Structure 1
């Protein structure tokens, strides 16, 4: 009796002297697939463990994204961000929920700075663009903040603006545990002595591994080369900040304490860079594009030396620049993009306790306690002068 082919566990191959038993192909394929799945799971588990085990108190999703960018998968993270943005664009029209907020932690000293004009057009909402003092020193405003609608289309969204007086406060660049990494005199958090007299903190720029090639210099060390023409936030040894194109408006000198480069100048001579809506990767980076309305941050200096930080949601590169100019900035730059990194915080210091932080704008997703633990990315802090 002949057994039909394929009905037994093996196929028999007749030979002149013996029969060879050959395993069925289906079972071999299934075994190979099983091995592949197990290997993928092991690799994935190892990747996740490595990412989540990185230093810093950033959320798990942020650590995974940072690990991916550091391991040649910038394209994947950027692609996911684009898909997310396409599915959840900020709504048009409407009004801010609850109106313009009063700054949490406002103190008694009144600001003499004129209110900012409403970028949404028409009359200002009650309190819109009005400066409120949140930190005072020697009876004068050291840190002032305000909020305003981001533009005339996304009228339900509010950006925050923080104005610091360099006569009363001084800035310092702090390293992240991964970016730039390494050992530094400056701390990676505001824990302990680093939080004494702190009045403000905010995020730095794009990752140093970003294709836009941004430079980093601090404490006499160059981590990433400083490139001609790049927008540069320069801190001098006296803690005073300046912003400009590297090599022309700002340059290396004996009193330069740190330089953080990011993209190209956004505001120069009080005018908006005309490529803000048309520039490519070299000008504004590759993440979701300059015209996307997302969380963004920026920094600049005014003609009288005041130091301005802006952060908020539903901002394009152009609208970020317009807010900087509205706040009096004559030279300014974009810092970072992404709600996981755009983080402006001002602080009240209490003896014997950690500094008490306050969010700069209502939609800020990074908690005010963020800089009390180590951050994986570089960031800035401003302190009261002695």
Structure 2
């Protein structure tokens, strides 16, 4: 049907208007698509990109005109590059790498300034004694006590407190009695064993001037002001003056007291300089230089042990202080008692081989047998 205006000229029908509008929309969409097609990333030219887009959208005849020769199928991967019909997939999120656990390396302890000058090569220099996971958690050094006793070196041991467990063992006679902890290191308790060392003066006759406490039981009353080894539930060890530096607490499982401090606040005490046998005990033959031993703690909380066959009270205190002890105490003295033993479990972890630190008179297996006096066993901490 055609409508005429007054002048007789026909007007466009509604259908033609709709058709023209649709054509314009198609052309606009085509122009948009072609623009996006040639704008795709890549080294190909605009004609190659347009041809590829045409074949991917089933317009092969257009591609033939652009390329100048016919093809029967699209080339390349249409789905991967068709940014007009589908969204690009998001890149998979890469998992964050987990940090590799690191073990803080344990450095070798600084050299201890020897007692004798001039020093011999290697004197006072620490070397690894026991390794845990490749780290030298127990280290040792030796030095001469004086220019004459060259056959009786002093042994110095440094122990990393956080890497070790210290366990107090009662002796069969000192303090005596029946305990859940044995007076030996039995065959079933040697795995992880790294070291053992002697306890203090006798408790039964009051020579120690201090007490003994283990697992809630007091064998000899603890004394305020006494130098004390304090054993904690987590296996760590403290050394201090009772009720001054250290005291009873819920985590304390053992206390071994002996005399007064050799070193306090990093300095050798006046008792060392002026004390006599009433302070430091009777010695074999009344000699000043006899087998002696002592233990201390440094400013980092690590443990220092010193022992040897020929030591005065002054030389023992001096070596402990030079080795870094800020608080230190004497342990046992005279020929049969001082000892530091290391254990090598490389071949037999459940039954490690014992070795004396220096030439102590007792055999290195002494704590594998029943001990008449108390001692300390040192294990690798689990």
Q: TM-score, normalised by structure 2?
A: 0.68
Match of 1:321 in 2: 317
CA shift in 2, pair 1:232/1:282, >3 Å: farther
Distance in 2, matches of 1:244 and 1:205, equals: 15
Aligned length: 276
Match of 1:278 in 2: 274
Match of 1:356 in 2: 353
Match of 1:189 in 2: 184
- After superposition, the C-alpha distances for 1:267-324 in whole angstroms (9 at most, x for unaligned) are 0011111221431344212345997100000000010111111110110111100010
CA shift in 2, pair 1:321/1:291, >3 Å: farther
Distance in 2, matches of 1:110 and 1:236, equals: 23
Shifted more, 124-133 versus 327-336: the winner is: 124-133
1:191–1:354 Cα contact (<8 Å) kept: no
Shift of 1:230: 0.6
- After superposition, the C-alpha distances for 1:318-337 in whole angstroms (9 at most, x for unaligned) are 11000101111100000011
- The 3-state SS of whatever aligns with 2:279 is helix
Shift of 1:186: 1.5
Distance in 2, matches of 1:167 and 1:211, equals: 33
Match of 1:45 in 2: none
Match of 1:202 in 2: 197
Distance in 2, matches of 1:290 and 1:135, equals: 36
Taking only aligned residues, the RMSD between alpha carbons, in angstroms, comes to 2.0
Structure 2: 5+ residue stretches without partners: 1-104
Distance in 2, matches of 1:269 and 1:315, equals: 22
- The 3-state SS of whatever aligns with 1:283 is helix
- The 3-state SS of whatever aligns with 1:276 is helix
Shift of 1:257: 1.1
Q: Which runs of 4+ in 1 moved over 6 A?
A: none
- The 3-state SS of whatever aligns with 1:182 is coil
After superposition, residues 235-250 of structure 1 pair within 5 angstroms as: 235-250=231-246
Match of 2:156 in 1: 161
CA shift in 2, pair 1:110/1:237, >3 Å: closer
Distance in 2, matches of 1:269 and 1:353, equals: 40
CA shift in 2, pair 1:318/1:291, >3 Å: farther
Shift of 1:151: 3.5
Structure whose alpha-carbon radius of gyration is higher: 2
Shifted more, 144-153 versus 247-256: the winner is: 144-153
- After superposition, the C-alpha distances for 1:143-199 in whole angstroms (9 at most, x for unaligned) are 111101113564553100111111211100001111122222212112212212110
Structure 1: 5+ residue stretches without partners: 1-108
Distance in 2, matches of 1:289 and 1:326, equals: 29
Distance in 2, matches of 1:378 and 1:217, equals: 12
CA shift in 2, pair 1:210/1:277, >3 Å: farther
2:154–2:306 Cα contact (<8 Å) kept: yes
2:109–2:158 Cα contact (<8 Å) kept: no
Distance in 1, matches of 2:205 and 2:126, equals: 35
Match of 1:331 in 2: 327
Q: TM-score, normalised by structure 1?
A: 0.68
Shift of 1:351: 3.6
Distance in 2, matches of 1:155 and 1:140, equals: 31
Distance in 2, matches of 1:354 and 1:198, equals: 9
CA shift in 2, pair 1:275/1:185, >3 Å: same
2:263–2:325 Cα contact (<8 Å) kept: yes
After superposition, residues 1-386 of structure 1 pair within 5 angstroms as: 111-122=107-118, 124-151=119-146, 154-212=149-207, 213-287=209-283, 292-349=288-345, 350-351=347-348, 354-361=351-358, 363-386=359-382
CA shift in 2, pair 1:331/1:291, >3 Å: farther
